[in-house]
Amino acid sequence: MAEPARVYLHLAAAAVRATARRPAYLAMRTLAAALIVVFEVAGVVLLVDRFGTIGGWRPAEVVLLFGLAFAGQGLALLFGDTLEADKVSQLVRRGTFDQVLTRPVSPLGWVLASYVDTRFVGRLLAGAGTVVWAANRAGVAWTPGRAGLAALAVVCAATIVFAVLLAAAGFTFVTVQGSEAVNVLVYGGQYLASYPMQIYGPPLRFLFVWVVPFGLAIYVPALGVLGRQGPPGLPAWLAWLAAPAAGAFLAAGGLAWRAGIRHYVGTGS
Amino acid sequence: MIEVEGLRKVFRTRRGPVEAVAGIDFRVAAGEFVGYAGPNGAGKSTTVKMMSGILLPSAGRVEVCGLVPYRERKRLARRMGVVFGQRTQLWWDLPLQESFELVGHLYRIPAADRLRRLRRLEEVLALGPLLPVPVRSLSLGQRMRAELAAAVLPAPQVLFLDEPTIGLDVEAKAAVRDFLGELNRTEGTTVILTTHDLDDITRLCSRLMIIDHGRLIYDGTVEALRTAYGTTRVLVVDLAEDEPLELAGAVPVRAEGRRRWFQFARDEVSAAELIARLLASNEVADLTLEEPDIEDIVRRIYRGET
């Protein structure tokens, strides 16, 4: 494994060097990726502030959820941005993917490494900064355990976003046409799942926790960070399930990607 | 080196199944230089994709370097080079030098071997001054030379080329052809050249395969093709004065000012006979005889006229 892994590091380093050749452009894109977090968070603050609290959560506590979600999204997009439907569709239509298949490497490894997009470091950092800021406003006393839970939430959220993108990419190999619907599902779903779970009725809550487990990945660990009790049926100790749930979701995404590749090699379209 | 038997590929489309490759058979021995021609949509690139492991055959057998391409894709990729004329395999935003380094990593070529081989390629393809230049800034001809160097850097046993001279000027075409011929001679690399440019084929290929509607319709030498199908020649006459001209045994095919083109079948009338008749009746400023053009022959084969 060690030898092939080095190939992907070389590919990723080449991708980073390529973007670093235009530092001003990179800086602007990184800033833009970070500013999205600032604007979204400002929107949430303005909204929640009108009501005082949402489901018993104060604005700072809701913002903490969004910070975790955005940090996770940044981490996922750092590698997975190129898995977005329209980008995969371009890889296929331009014949780039055919060329990837003539290389002695894993196609997924190639795509992830060759299209590392460092601007999403901006979103990751902005998300992490939001978490720290919101935790302080909410009066969280940081302990290693709470920091660990926050990190767990970020990694699990990233895993789920990545898994959804992976599945969507697999799907795009079949449809070829990039579909905006997938983006709506990924980002819209993540946005909705970033509000405290108790504001949703049982069906939606079930969906966000057990089907697309954003709630399990973000909301449940955040309960621990904030020292809160969850609503009935969602105790804080469920955080232990976040990693296995995200892992299972990733495995499903991986299967969808492989099915997509198999379809592509079968039909070439 | 390459074995293809009963190879078929059927695509399912909205308008029903389309048989892109309808059962072809051929063998290519190590060191052969094969031209693969055919009109657009004839099944050329589908065949090449099946040979390089990009596409799964619907039926039949294909083996390259003793490997089944789609099943042992990565192992085959180590022994195979691919150049697509219209797409780049290089790292667009980085200096050319770095593309070669990355190819070295991808194919696990020891650094010392890579440098030694690269020095030779740089010399043959005149790449030296281009190494610090980002690939995006190279001219098409320069880029094509670089693509070839990158493709053969891992010393592949088989090289698949798709339109490597498309869009190149005369000089760049010559450089590419010289390099390919030399590579085939000195390293014994098996080359499959897909092209519309029949000049590439007549200059380089010991063997020509023509595919149409998914079937191989010709497989043999270029010379054999010329003698088998090139039955007509053209006499070009520059008359001293612009006057009507008829020539028994030949068909006028074109006229432009005082210049006339007459086509005749070589087994019906000899050129000498025609010229004698012509000189007896008209005053002629100049004469040339055109041998059958391989391009014409192939075009006629595509149209099903032979």
CB atoms inside a 10 Å sphere around CB A207: 17
Does a structural domain hold residue B274? Answer: yes
Nearest to A102 among B12, B46, B52 (CB): B52
B84 CB within 8 Å of a chain A CB: yes
Last residue of a domain, one of B220, B245, B264: B220
Comparing A114-118, A136-140, A209-213, the range with the smallest average pLDDT is A209-213
Residue whose structure tokens are 């946005």: A191
Kindly state whether residues B179 and B58 are assigned to the same domain: yes
Interface of A with B (CB under 8 A): 3, 6-7, 10-11, 14, 17-19, 21, 94-96, 98-99, 101-105, 265-269
pLDDT of residue B306: 53
CB atoms inside a 10 Å sphere around CB B241: 8
Kindly state whether residues B208 and B74 are assigned to the same domain: yes
How many whole angstroms separate alpha carbon A84 and alpha carbon A184?
Answer: 11
What 3-state class would DSSP assign to B195?
Answer: coil
Does a structural domain hold residue B184? Answer: yes
Nearest CA in chain A to B57: A266
How would DSSP label each residue in chain A?
-HHHHHHHHHHHHHHHHHHHTSHHHHHHHHHHHHHHHHHHHHHHHHHHHHHS-BTTB-HHHHHHHHHHHHHHHHHHHHHHGGGSHHHHHHHHHTTHHHHHHTSSS-HHHHHHHHT--TTHHHHHHHHHHHHHHHHHHTT----HHHHHHHHHHHHHHHHHHHHHHHHHHHHHHHH-S--HHHHIIIIIHHHHTTS-GGGS-HHHHHIIIIISTHIIIIIHHHHHHHT-PPPTT--GGGGGGHHHHHHHHHHHHHHHHHHHHHHHHHH--
Last residue of a domain, one of B198, B220, B242: B220
What 3-state class would DSSP assign to B282?
Answer: coil
Query: Cβ A98–B94 below 8 Å, yes or no?
Result: no
B11 CB within 8 Å of a chain A CB: yes
Query: Cβ A94–B87 below 8 Å, yes or no?
Result: yes
Which of chain A's residues have a Cβ under 8 Å away from the Cβ of B54? 98, 101-102, 265, 268
Kindly state whether residues B235 and B214 are assigned to the same domain: no
What tens-digit pLDDT sequence spans chain B (306 residues)?
A: 999 999 999 988 888 888 899 999 999 999 999 999 888 888 888 999 999 999 999 999 999 999 999 899 999 999 999 998 778 899 999 999 999 999 999 999 998 999 999 998 988 888 989 999 999 999 988 999 999 999 999 999 999 999 888 888 888 888 889 999 999 999 999 999 998 888 888 889 989 999 988 999 889 988 888 777 767 788 899 988 888 888 888 888 888 888 989 888 877 888 888 888 888 888 888 888 887 767 777 777 777 665
Last residue of a domain, one of B178, B198, B220: B220
- A8, A94, A102, best to mutate vs chain B, most B CBs in 10 Å: A102
Burial call B207-217: b when 16+ CB within 10 Å, e when fewer: bbbbbbbbebe
Nearest CA in chain A to B78: A104
Does a structural domain hold residue B226? Answer: no
Kindly state whether residues B209 and B290 are assigned to the same domain: no
Kindly state whether residues B60 and B186 are assigned to the same domain: yes
Kindly state whether residues B72 and B212 are assigned to the same domain: yes
How many whole angstroms separate alpha carbon B270 and alpha carbon B46?
Answer: 44
C-alpha distances in angstroms, B142 versus B121, B127, B260, B301?
A: 13, 8, 41, 35
Confidence of residue A258 (pLDDT cuts 50, 70, 90): very high
Domain of residue B211, CATH code: 3.40.50.300
- Would you call A59 exposed, middle or buried from its count of C-beta atoms within 10 A (0-12, 13-18, 19+)? buried
How many whole angstroms separate alpha carbon B104 and alpha carbon B111?
Answer: 7
Which of chain B's residues have a Cβ under 8 Å away from the Cβ of A95? 84, 87
Nearest CA in chain B to A6: B105
Nearest CA in chain B to A266: B56
Query: Cβ A105–B134 below 8 Å, yes or no?
Result: no
B52 CB within 8 Å of a chain A CB: yes
Which of chain B's residues have a Cβ under 8 Å away from the Cβ of A103? 77, 106
Token pair for A8: 């992907």
Count of domains in chain B?
2
Residue A258 sits in which domain range?
2-267
Query: Cβ B77–A14 below 8 Å, yes or no?
Result: no
pLDDT of residue A1: 45
- The predicted-structure confidence for B250-271, as pLDDT tens digits, reads as follows 888 888 888 989 888 877 888 8
Query: Cβ A268–B46 below 8 Å, yes or no?
Result: yes
Does a structural domain hold residue B111? Answer: yes
- Mean pLDDT of all residues in A97-114: 92
Instruction: Find residue B237's DSSP bridge partners.
Output: B260, B287
B202 CB within 8 Å of a chain A CB: no
Residue B157 sits in which domain range?
2-220
ipTM for this prediction: 0.83
How many whole angstroms separate alpha carbon A83 and alpha carbon A168?
Answer: 8
Kindly state whether residues B193 and B260 are assigned to the same domain: no
Which of chain B's residues have a Cβ under 8 Å away from the Cβ of A19? 93
How many Cα atoms are found within 13 Å in the side-chain-facing hemisphere of B92? 6
A146, A228 contact by CB (below 8 A): no
- B67, B75, B83, B105, best to mutate vs chain A, most A CBs in 10 Å: B105
Using alpha carbons only, give the angle B223, B226, B228 rounded to the nearest 5 degrees: 105
pLDDT of residue B305: 63
Kindly state whether residues B90 and B120 are assigned to the same domain: yes
Kindly state whether residues B284 and B155 are assigned to the same domain: no
Query: Cβ B94–A11 below 8 Å, yes or no?
Result: no
Query: Cβ A99–B53 below 8 Å, yes or no?
Result: no
Token pair for A226: 């904030």
Nearest to A104 among B52, B78, B91 (CB): B78
Instruction: Find residue B162's DSSP bridge partners.
Output: B84, B194
B282, B242 contact by CB (below 8 A): no
Token pair for B50: 């099946």
Nearest to B94 among A14, A105, A269 (CB): A14
Kindly state whether residues B40 and B152 are assigned to the same domain: yes
Count of domains in chain A?
1
Nearest to A265 among B11, B55, B108 (CB): B55
Does a structural domain hold residue B54? Answer: yes
